[in-house]
Chains A and B, each alone.
Chain A
């Protein structure tokens, strides 16, 4: 990849590498692979949602244990729902958007030669590999992979007799998650340390690109929020195999036998899970918004609107995200006064997000838009985060959540937020930084086909899920036509499935484009987009250790068309070289 580390053997350069860029790309490719599995599962899920009673002889040939007699087994449906969610949230979005893009871009944008702890960085990647393998292996054990939902609420997940997937599959799920958490925590520590300590001369916090800001906030959230889930996973493991009763009360009856547990409560697990679970959403969504700001500024050829207010809004949103977890539990049976507290603070989250949303839209005001594929996805993020976010208000209001809780409305909402917003963030990042990663461009025509197939299908599909939820359709239901009152809405399920197949076709185009461009993409120059941030000062692809001497920074990250300068002022341009200096601008 570069002359500086050409001396290293192949396996030190590309396999057990400590180069943040190689590790970032490793994360992204791992996530792409895991995405194939998760998308495959979603195909089977949608087939079941659309044709719940149809027999599939061909599927029996392909997956004989799941489709015994041609009909999908209900327990395998639950396995698919569980593993689709787990893999997508933790092994696709987290890996690609945070670990992948974050690793690649943080040192390049702050002007560091590598991460603060390169060896720890390598270790965190090589911890995620066994985690992925364990998750995949769990499909093949007796009873199948975990099936208690991606939330894995006990007692269902704690009692092997409660569900076929709660056997060895659930144990492997816990181990895989534990490894994921270890890896992600190492990564978050590395990110936060690098951003806080290795910024180049002149790169003050308020001159950092917003991608870096969002990754900093997201790393700090990850460090604070993941430990309780680790504790919960250990306790769940002990309840399953150590005879403890952290989450199990007395008097449980299963298969006619009274079980010998006493003193625990399942609600404890829910609190611990969502104490992580809610901030985790922000860990994923915020970096996508940061990427949107960066891309919109570069291709809108204007400074981001409200850089400072955005930074403050990010911090406020992060603080709020730590104290609102109970809104996932309005109907759980917790104290109604507590429920009301959680509702009041939850809807306050719309305040910082409204600021971020307005700033994103206003960043297009008087812009000079160049509609590259990256820009298209970035604009898509703006629309999706607004659309999904407004639906969140319906769920955050406790009294209306009574109706929407556990309904398909929730599924539509979180697919907008941690499905569309985050994957658009990944796509925008890949199309935008691909030249820096590989020295080549992705094909723009294929990119645009990818964009249009994706946006025109996922928007109506996930909006359609909101409608189903309004009609009262419940989630995690093997046969959506079981309840008479939702049966008339079944046609909507057919539409959603059709749209998602279009979306998947779009992803195939992306897949082809990705690998085609790796080898045959047109060569890219150092700064193909005329970007003002530091990563564009390196050659494409960026060499090992990035710069011999990282550049000094003199200004903010988004100085496009400022101070009477028609073009842009790069962050490393000294003030005396600016042609019509009016004074420093902080972005």
Chain B
């Protein structure tokens, strides 16, 4: 009943792991899965991903190579001899993986990750462009401050799906020139941008894959995320936190324009950055 030693099955198992390892590594390494990066910190995120790919990939390959070797070496002629492992050897083979993983993981978090984290959540530069983005089931309400450079107060009671989707308080004069758009976010290229993120109802998450940006929007809190778009063109934004039955089509477009085009567009809307 019990199959032993090097049989067809052990060989098949070793071959299987060889195949799976090869296929996995090829699949990660060969195609370029990541959408083209279009923001300044995206380079850092992608660098971190490549670092993790190489380091964890190496550990994955070495681990499986050893596994395959042990499977193939199984039962090679010494099945009745003593197998006693020295506790010292066991401790050594604990220290080696601990040091390896400490190095691999914390280099990633502290040396490569922290600077990116700082770019996203650190100090905001002076010339930052602030845009207000309100999420509601199932659309994005984008608001620019208008000529006065200030956002008007909002009042949930004044929200009207058609005429005032983000609930600008008509008692606040600062709000009268605010520019409101739905599901389109226009930004000038190469200018630091900070989004003020608010939700009217449930959790949402502002996500632009090309920018490597993802920030949950928590009702009751004003969140923010900071990035610098570096490529002209149109990008897709979407909701990355389950928000209801039409969550899957809560998308929109981010249009990154030259500063001149942006100014022109803004003045056409009656505003001035």
Spell out A's residues near B (CB within 8 Å): 73-75, 78, 147-149, 153, 155-156, 159, 162-164, 248-254, 256, 258, 264-267, 300-303, 305-306, 308-309, 313, 331-333, 336, 339-340, 343-344, 347-348, 350-351, 353-355, 357-359, 361-362, 364-372, 376, 379, 382-383, 386-387, 390-391, 393-394, 396-400, 402-403, 405-407, 441, 444, 448, 455-456, 459-460, 463-464, 466-467, 470-472, 474, 476-479, 482-485, 528-529, 560-564, 566, 585
B116: which A residues are within 8 A, CB to CB? 399
Name 18 interchain pairs, CB-CB below 8 A, sorted by A. Answer: A163-B244, A163-B245, A164-B245, A254-B137, A302-B83, A309-B91, A350-B105, A362-B70, A367-B70, A369-B74, A372-B2, A383-B64, A397-B108, A398-B117, A402-B214, A478-B245, A483-B251, A529-B2
Evaluate whether A478 and B74 lie within 8 angstroms (CB atoms) in the complex, with A155-B202, A333-B221, A390-B56 already known.
Answer: no
Does B147 interact with chain A (Cβ within 8 Å)?
Answer: no
B78: which A residues are within 8 A, CB to CB? 366
A306: which B residues are within 8 A, CB to CB? 85, 90, 93-94
Evaluate whether A162 and B244 lie within 8 angstroms (CB atoms) in the complex, with A376-B13, A561-B82 already known.
Answer: yes
For the complex of A and B, list the 4 residue pairs with the smallest distance between their C-beta atoms, beginning with the closest.
A249-B220, A347-B105, A354-B97, A472-B209
**Distance (Å) between the CB of B50 and the closest chain A CB?**
10
B113: which A residues are within 8 A, CB to CB? 343, 397-400
**Distance (Å) between the CB of B74 and the closest chain A CB?**
4
A406 contacts B213, C-beta separation under 8 Å: no
A331 contacts B84, C-beta separation under 8 Å: no
A78: which B residues are within 8 A, CB to CB? 242, 245, 247
The segment out of B124-132, B155-163, B182-190 that lies at the interface is B155-163
- Distance of A248 Cα from B81 Cα, bound (Å): 67
B209: which A residues are within 8 A, CB to CB? 403, 472, 485
Evaluate whether A483 and B238 lie within 8 angstroms (CB atoms) in the complex, with A155-B201, A305-B90, A472-B209 already known.
Answer: yes
Does B273 interact with chain A (Cβ within 8 Å)?
Answer: no
Does B71 interact with chain A (Cβ within 8 Å)?
Answer: yes
Chain B: interface residue total (CB-CB under 8 A): 108
Give 12 A-B pairs besides A256-B161, A562-B83 with Cβ atoms closer than 8 angstroms: A156-B243, A248-B219, A253-B156, A357-B97, A366-B78, A383-B17, A393-B108, A399-B48, A402-B45, A476-B247, A478-B245, A528-B1
- Distance of A163 Cα from B202 Cα, bound (Å): 10
Spell out B's residues near A (CB within 8 Å): 1-5, 7, 9-10, 13, 16-17, 20, 23-24, 27-28, 31, 33-35, 44-45, 48-49, 52, 56, 59-60, 63-64, 66-67, 70-71, 73-75, 78-85, 87, 90-91, 93-94, 96-98, 100-102, 104-106, 108-110, 112-114, 116-117, 120-121, 136-137, 156-157, 159, 161, 167, 200-203, 205, 207, 209-210, 212-221, 223, 236, 238, 240-249, 251
B243: which A residues are within 8 A, CB to CB? 156
Q: Which chain A residue has the least Cβ–Cβ distance from B161?
A: A256
A153: which B residues are within 8 A, CB to CB? 203, 241-242
A455 contacts B16, C-beta separation under 8 Å: yes
- Distance of A343 Cα from B5 Cα, bound (Å): 44
A148 contacts B242, C-beta separation under 8 Å: yes
A566 contacts B80, C-beta separation under 8 Å: yes
**Distance (Å) between the CB of A368 and the closest chain B CB?**
4
Evaluate whether A482 and B251 lie within 8 angstroms (CB atoms) in the complex, with A266-B203, A350-B105 already known.
Answer: yes
B220 contacts A250, C-beta separation under 8 Å: yes
**Distance (Å) between the CB of A77 and the closest chain B CB?**
8
B33: which A residues are within 8 A, CB to CB? 467, 470-471
B10: which A residues are within 8 A, CB to CB? 369, 371
- Distance of A332 Cα from B136 Cα, bound (Å): 17
B136: which A residues are within 8 A, CB to CB? 253
- Distance of A390 Cα from B101 Cα, bound (Å): 10
**Distance (Å) between the CB of A247 and the closest chain B CB?**
10
Evaluate whether A251 and B156 lie within 8 angstroms (CB atoms) in the complex, with A357-B63, A564-B82 already known.
Answer: yes
Q: Which chain B residue has the least Cβ–Cβ distance from A353?
A: B101
Evaluate whether A393 and B214 lie within 8 angstroms (CB atoms) in the complex, with A344-B109, A561-B81 already known.
Answer: no
